[in-house]
Amino acid sequence: MTWNQVETLPFFWIPFKTLPGTFVFGFLITGIFSFLFSYFIFRRRIKGVFFAIITQALALAMYLLFSRNETMLGGTNGLTNFRYLLGFDLYTDEIKTGLYIFTVCVLCVVFYFSGQLTKSKFGKILVGIRDSESRLRFAGYKVVTYQTAIFVIGALIAAIGGMLYLPQTGIITPGRMDVKASIEMLIWVVLGGRG
């Protein structure tokens, strides 16, 4: 990030200097942030269009924050020139193929996990919340706990996607967090159905 007048590693990047530290802190930061956000949103019973607007506003706020050069995150250029991972050159055909195969395997594992989660008691309660939240609330279920848990799980799955995206492209910019990309995902849900 020399174009950004950053010559030394900023203090907040030190935990990310090693691969295990990157995984731990990547999941920890994602988990904590998504828990705090979702707990307070679901506790206030915000849902539907209002929930979508708040999440889009949060995406826009994060986009604007990460676009600033003062954050030492590369500004609008983002974090670029990732060429090596564990000593392997990410631009060689063998490593690109290996990353692709690894990503497909992780996708299969996540898909299988999601299917098992849906079939479990936890998943059936989530379907019940989707169909009639008030009925489950009156039946004594802690709806906020289930909603928060699935939101955090979804955020952790997104974190896995981000961790797999960067080595394959070598760059991550705030443009990947813009509202347009987030709205596209909402369109996928609308077209594909909530189930």
pLDDT of residue 32: 96
pLDDT of residue 124: 94
- Name 88's bridge partners: 85
pLDDT in tens, the chain (195 residues): 666 666 776 777 778 788 888 899 999 999 999 999 999 999 998 887 888 888 888 888 888 887 877 677 777 777 777 777 888 888 889 989 999 999 999 999 999 999 999 999 999 999 999 888 889 889 889 999 999 999 999 999 999 998 998 888 877 777 777 778 777 877 888 888 766
Nearest-angstrom CA–CA distance, 104 and 147: 28
Which of these, 153, 152, 130, 128, lies nearest to 140 by C-alpha position? 128
SS3 79: strand
SS3 88: strand
SS3 percent helix, strand, coil of the chain, rounded to 5, is 75, 5, 20
Nearest-angstrom CA–CA distance, 59 and 177: 6
pLDDT of residue 87: 82
pLDDT of residue 2: 61
The end-to-end CA distance of the chain, in Å, is 43
Buried b (16+ CB within 10 A) or exposed e, 118-133: eeeeebebbebbeeeb
Nearest-angstrom CA–CA distance, 93 and 91: 7
pTM: 0.84
Nearest-angstrom CA–CA distance, 175 and 78: 8
What residue ranges in the chain does DSSP mark as E strands?
84-85, 88-89
Q: Are 79 and 172 contacting, i.e. CB atoms less than 8 angstroms apart? A: yes
Show Cβ contacts of residue 21 under 8 Å, excluding neighbours closer than 6 positions. Answer: 15
SS3 58: helix
